[in-house]
Amino acid sequence: MPLPLVDYHLSQLKNVLYWLNRAREENGLWRLERHPILDEVAQRHAFDMHHRNFYGHDNPEGLKPWDRTAAAGFGWSVGENIAHGQSSGQKVHESWMSSDGHRSNILSPRWNVVGLGLSWDCHWVQVFGSTP
């Protein structure tokens, strides 16, 4: 069951996707389309970090991004970007692009789909995936 989001959150997730795809196109890469399973995994991880007051790629049980995506039924390669506190999709994108590891995920030719999540207190999640 999808998790509820308010209009502000939905607009900011669209904003993240815009900046993500703009950066990819400026670097000669194809646009990423949102994937429903990855969206669900990203949103759940954002809400989980908010509700259980942690910040990390691994949750308190030690589950990693690929564990969460596999459990949700996505069986291919994944990568993840997380952030906390940025007030808009553009600001979080700028933060990610100024970090080598996050930038590498955004500009990787390996990915062809993405999932996005955002919690009430601005835990941001991007889950990148490769499908056949």
- The per-residue pLDDT for range 32-65, each reduced to its tens digit, is 999 999 999 999 999 999 999 999 999 999 999 9
pLDDT of 4 strictly over 80: no
Query: Are 116 and 45 in contact, with CB atoms under 8 Å apart?
Result: no
- The per-residue pLDDT for range 73-86, each reduced to its tens digit, is 999 999 999 999 99
Residues with Cβ within 8 Å of residue 67, at least 6 apart in sequence: none
Q: Which residue has the tokens 């646009």?
A: 31
| Residue 107: how many other CB atoms lie within 10 Å | 16
Region 85-90: what's the mean pLDDT? 95
Q: Which residue has the tokens 């993500």?
A: 20
pTM of the model: 0.93
- Any idea what the Cα angle at residue 64 is, between residues 60 and 67, rounded to 5°? 115
pLDDT of 111 strictly over 90: yes
